[in-house]
Structure formats: C-alpha cells, structure tokens
C-alpha cells in the first residue's frame, strides 16, 4: 500500500546521524499534499 497523502519536500528532516525525524513530518500534517485516491491512484492489491 502506498501513502494516502504523498507530498514532495525539499529536504527530509534528519538527525546528526542521518536518521529521519519522523515526528517532525507527522507534526506537519497533510499540508500541501494531495489525496492519492481522489487523484486516481488504484492499488494493485485489494485493501483489507
């Protein structure tokens, strides 16, 4: 399953050891993202 709200960002926030700071991405919310299903995304496998 792909992400429901994909968003292109300039830079992913990382720690000094180059690990992604996921909590910062979650705090941003959906922002300027678009809803993949409304844009025509069809999953290759049924979603259960």
> Comparing 17 with 46, which gets the higher pLDDT?
17
Q: Is the model's pLDDT at 25 over the cut of 70?
A: yes
Percentage of the chain with pLDDT > 70? 54
Confidence of residue 18 (pLDDT cuts 50, 70, 90): very high
**In 1-48, alpha helices (H):** 22-28
Exposure string for 12-35, b = 16+ CB within 10 A, e = fewer? eeeeeeeeeeeeeeeeeeeeeeee
pLDDT in tens, 27-48: 877 666 666 667 677 767 666 6
């Amino acid at each position: 399953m792909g992400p429901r709200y994909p968003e292109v960002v300039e830079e992913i926030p990382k720690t000094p050891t180059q690990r992604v700071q996921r909590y910062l991405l979650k705090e941003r919310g959906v922002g300027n993202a678009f809803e993949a299903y409304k844009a025509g995304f069809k999953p290759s496998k049924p979603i259960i």
